[in-house]
Structure 1
């Protein structure tokens, strides 16, 4: 019998090294190289008599598609993020912070799919079946026909699946707790996560079952384990949210069957996760009385328009180096906006302390929020609030010009649907006939809305 060998593998990129080192030469990550024991026992996949491999079956693009390409999970927000529902034979990886609600979301989806007549299997490697049943009872799902198992060995899981009908949905919670008996390394290591993930993805492709893999995350918020796991699956979802807020965001960062960067919004309640079909109302603050330093930004999250309140506070600083505090936006982008305002408009905002916050805990990444941030800063500096029922969006260049952004008509349409009557936007934007607009070509026109000498 061949003797097992040892090698050293980077848990981030999967690169192999003959001996341990403090950082990975391939991806540059520090303290990511781990020891891995590999069995030298050969694996004869697809080998027929005579030692030759079985040839792969070839076809063309005229092959017929599946009779039922998508199936609803019973949760509209989850279906939206998946691109319209579950795809047969797809593998989905979902990650998120501990306690954010990953298991709750999947248990609710499994129960609703089972209630619609689907065959659902829920395998938990972290909780006993009694604990899963207790959580289901708390969520009011104890009557759902979901088959539950507590197992960590991949061989036991595959044997149980082979003994019954092919499930419509298979949930593995979590992939870091599953181990293959053919490997000597511990569960959660690079080799185990890669091997178990590969076998489960192959099971999904061959059987037609939709497989959900729950993944742990690192302290940086990335899914733990080798990066190759995200390449193997069809869809990668991140469940985001702040425990101090009651909402959760399910974000798609990779989707072979739908749009990436799509989001679904849920509200955490005692009975579990509640879908939020109108997330704009959730992120908007009290708009009864305008407040200086607040601007309503009309943004886009995937294909969904989303309105959110941007709050700014400009205050005199007693320090030589004024403070900058940013929550929900890029601090480097804020520094650029402050530099443009100071240079192009002759202001001295940079000498003050600046605090910027996106209400509700949402994080904005698109440059279209530049104009809303600038409007909030000028409003706080002048002490003049924006006109009531007004939305703002647009990208600011280093020259001080305001540039047009994509999907302007969808942003305006969402604002009009929620009762907004006025929009401040870049010149030449589409959809201007839907709402009263103020076109901004440069920041000098924006400054005219907040005259500082009268503030």
Structure 2
């Protein structure tokens, strides 16, 4: 019987019986491509059950009979990575580390081997580099331990045989797009190959208790080379982000079955490898200009960590009839809303001006607590009056121009005081219940008008 040709989405891997311009699963456009039928390795009639010889049939059991032991965590040697993972790696988990090529994923994985090899056996599988290249990179990163085993292989069967022979505690696969299963006709990196190889690694992790780290690349089109296809199959999804032209990298958790997904880890890429940045606020504020209009500092929460970020704004007269709006690291629609509130409630005619917002350091601020600092920076640029260098603005802005409170305000204020700032503009209805640290002045404001006047007031 002739098998039908299937279609699949290169963005999410969803299979359909016919072509469509828009994927019905993820909504992406022009991602449906044709895939030839694959040779099935074993077929069975509908309703039949295949039992392997010597393998007992698994039965369902009451939930009360299940063991409730806590997961076993162990440190990876990188405190920032442990923070994002939720306190360390979990034994028997499958972790996906995704990011653009050349961002530093392989460097991060090879660096943690130095710590992991102190108490466990690590097998590093590379499908992109030879053993000689791995040796040169390990020498540069100062990774030298007899418990680290490396192999350059792309066949899934040979990798599983190496795991069976070495019996490692931690397995690192670099990268999943280079692995292929001989039983499938599709090329390496296709949706079927990525899914099949990831499923085999997941069974290896769950069945034998091996912690598996898998590296996945994201190409420029965001198609099948990216880890979007297999996010639902793994326990934890980490994204390594950052501009290749800068030295700082940010590690985020997009999915974590064993911890929170709102933590970040900050690294700096140097010649000797990735260096942890334990104080991101000082890094993000380094090089800040003095007495320059259009800049204001705010404090956002990245998980349980307060981080100070600098918001820069530029407001200039528009040359044409249609003013331009641009935001980098700040939501575009929210920036447009704040500009409208600034004109209607703040009395500044910014509708006839080009407005640009930029977040320093590669951060993306999606928290409403950054609204007030963005408004103050826009007003500072429009009026060409600098914000004092020792002032921080924290608060959410409503459509009527009022300032609303934000969560964990006490922790934010403590971070502001620790970094030497002396003034902090906050919503007025929260100022009464807060204790200001010695040397820090809390400036209450009920609306953006009061906040702008307090922030741009001439220094005495």
> Partner of 1:350: helix, strand, or coil?
coil
Displacement of 1:36 after TM fit?
A: 4.2
CA displacement 1:170-199 (0-9 Å, x = unmatched): 111111111112211111111111111111
| CA root-mean-square deviation | 2.8
Alpha-carbon distance change, 98 to 145 in structure 1, aligned in 2, over 3 angstroms: same
Residue number in structure 1 paired with 2:129: 127
Q: Deviations over 1:388-431 (max 9, x none)?
A: 32211111111211111111111111111111222111233364
- 1:348 corresponds to: 349
Q: Contact between 2:218 and 2:227, CA under 8 Å: does it hold in 1?
A: no
Please name the residue that 1:39 is paired with.
39
Residue 452 of structure 2: which of 444, 447, 454 is its match? Answer: 447
When residues 431 and 155 of structure 1 are mapped into structure 2, their CA distance, relative to the original with a 3 A threshold, is farther
CA contact (8 A) 2:11 2:222 kept: no
Contact 1:252 1:260 (C-alpha < 8 Å) held by counterparts: yes
Q: 1:315 deviation in Å?
A: 1.9
**Larger CA deviation: 425-434 vs 39-48:** 39-48
Specify the alignment match of 2:17 in structure 1.
18
Structure 1 residues 9 and 60: alpha-carbon distance in aligned structure 2, compared to 1, 3 A threshold:
same
Distance 2:254 2:348 in 1: 39
2:249 maps to 248
SS in 1 for 2:306: strand
Moved more, 221-230 or 140-149: 221-230
Decide whether aligned partners of structure 1 residues 14 and 307 sit closer, same or farther in structure 2, where only a CA change above 3 A counts: same
Q: Closer, same or farther in 2 for the Cα pair 1:345/1:73, shift >3 Å?
A: same
Structure 2 spans left out of the alignment, 5+ residues: none
**Structure 1 pair 107/59, CA: closer, same or farther in 2 (3 Å)?**
farther
Q: Per the alignment, do residues 347 and 177 of structure 1 end up closer, same or farther by CA in structure 2, a change over 3 Å counting?
A: same
Q: How many pairs align? A: 451
Question: How far apart, in 1, do the equivalents of 2:262 and 2:221 lie?
Answer: 19
Match of 1:82 among 85, 92, 113: 85
Relative to the length of structure 1, the TM-score reads 0.91
Structure 2 residue aligned with 1:303: 304
Q: List aligned pairs for 1:35-184, cutoff 5 A.
A: 35-42=35-42, 47-48=50-51, 54-56=57-59, 58=61, 60=63, 63-64=66-67, 69-114=72-117, 116-143=118-145, 145-165=147-167, 167-184=168-185
Alpha-carbon distance in structure 2 between the residues aligned to 1:52 and 1:92: 29
Structure 1: stretches of 5+ with no match in the other structure: none
Tell me the TM-score normalized by structure 2. Answer: 0.90
The 1:331/1:396 distance shift into structure 2, 3 A limit, reads same
1:384/1:450 contact within 8 Å kept:
no
Residues 389/177 of structure 1: CA separation in 2 closer, same or farther (3 Å cut): same
